[in-house]
Structure 1
Amino acid sequence: MNIGKRIREIRQRRDMTITDLAEAIGSDAGNISRLETGKQKSFTEDLLGRIAEALAINVNDLFTHNETDYTVHKTSSPVESEQKDGNVFRVEILDVSASAGEGYVSGSDVVDIIHSIVYNAEHAAALFGGRPESAVKVINVRGDSMSGTLEPGDLIFVDVAVRQFDGDGIYVFGFDDKIHVKRLQMVPDRILVLSDNTKYREWAIEKSNEHRFYIYGKVLISQTQEFRRHG
């Protein structure tokens, strides 16, 4: 999804100039221009929050969802009727910040924009291979290191029952104080950390640094957050 394009659309509907928006969030027009044109591909949760506030929208409104398949909840309050209905499957956020310690994990590859998604149970069973609610979590991708496979803002659904290397694939993992979304590949005596965006270099998890490495889960599926206007 091109978040910059979405910001520009909403800004223009508000009759705001780039300068107006920049002043409202305490930035400069050049930064807003780079974000809207896609030259700046990474963004922080704080930046999105300030932009959303200036545009008088919820942060969630910078992203899209399909009403027919699921409901995105913008608050942490439980929906009592849904909990009583056995035909729903709630996917909660993968709270990696809490798992890594209090406060924001700087420079991470994920951002918690959506709180939870509720699916029809039958649809969820097909999507997630019959896994229980407790094993599936969702979070948004930040940054472009996996561009070509995962784009900034995409939703990724993670099997959190996988807490160790379980074959080649895309994982959410911690290394020191950063959370990564990368492809992991086993080779003799080490695990390669690969970015699908070729401008990022590969690195490795080895015996000498494996104590700094922790797996939060393995990515099952992803969903693009690209906006398409039909009216």
Structure 2
Amino acid sequence: MDSIGGRLREERERLGLTQTELGDKAGITKNTQRLYETDQRSPKADYLQALHQAGVDTHYVLTGDRPGTLDAQPLGLPAIEPGPEFSPVKMYDIEAAAGAGRSFEGEPVKTILHFPSSELAEQGLDPAQVVGIKVRGDSMDGTLADGDWVLVDRSKRDPKQEGVFLLLVSGERRIKRVQRLAGGALFLISDNEHYQPEMIKPQDMHDVEILGRCEIRIGRIV
């Protein structure tokens, strides 16, 4: 195929989806999907990000170059230069990101996703304070699944506002629901009921650092 629209149609047919079905996965109408496939409209970055999550080889769609396997394609967009209306967010694998402290500088970046700056602002997020983390394990099943990505706001580190936080506990990065208890203790809760809650006593707080609040989940619909 010699056009983005043609390759997009080819990928849709490879997955056995109708224009309506693929459009639903990306949050657009059948008509918009048709316009993309006939090259009457250029697809946007957030649309392509949604397609990647649905199994579309977005690298092939944009470049015509298909890697040997889809596993070789990193999450999100290939190496293109989005417009100024998009903000880059570095995405880290929580297992690979094992350094001490709240800084992610020097950590291996899994990939970089570009999000519409206006949409981040609508969610109250400052792109400069946002990192993406890949969830590992099943301790947060019901809220976050193994392999999901979550956007973390590093400016929100006060557990007085209960929620799901990225923490550094004894040198290990973990994602837990956090509640502050009377006397300054913290209650770390796994949403998977098979895991017992953990209490961090005030005298043990030196081993714990809250790195940011988990705000947006990116994952498959099941």
Distance 2:126 2:199 in 1: 32
Q: Which amino acid aligns with 2:177?
A: R
* Other-structure match for 2:100: 100
The alignment's C-alpha RMSD in Å is 2.8
User: 137, 157, 161: which one pairs with 1:163?
Assistant: 157
Q: Which amino acid aligns with 2:121?
A: A
Matched, 1:148 2:142: yes
State the identity as a percent: 25
Unaligned runs of 5+ in 1: 1-54, 64-71, 102-111
Mapping for residues 86-125 of structure 1, pairs under 5 Å: 86-94=84-92, 97=97, 99-100=99-100, 114-125=110-121
* SS of equivalent residue, structure 1 residue 182: strand
Contact 2:91 2:134 in 1 (8 A): no
Contact 2:90 2:109 in 1 (8 A): no
* SS of equivalent residue, structure 1 residue 58: helix
* Other-structure match for 1:224: 219
Structure 2 CA distance for partners of 1:170 and 1:59, relative to 1, 3 Å: farther
User: 157, 171, 175: which one pairs with 1:177?
Assistant: 171
Normalising by structure 2, report the TM-score.
0.57
Computing the radius of gyration over CA atoms, which structure comes out larger, 1 or 2?
2
Unaligned runs of 5+ in 2: 1-67, 102-107
Q: Which one scores higher on RCO, CA 8 angstroms, separation ≥ 6? A: 1
Distance 1:58 1:168 in 2: 36
Distance 1:58 1:91 in 2: 21
How many residues are aligned here? 146
How much has 1:86 moved relative to structure 2?
2.3
How much has 1:226 moved relative to structure 2?
4.3
After TM superposition, the runs of 4+ consecutive aligned structure 1 residues lying more than 4 A away are none
* SS of equivalent residue, structure 1 residue 216: strand
Distance 1:114 1:226 in 2: 22
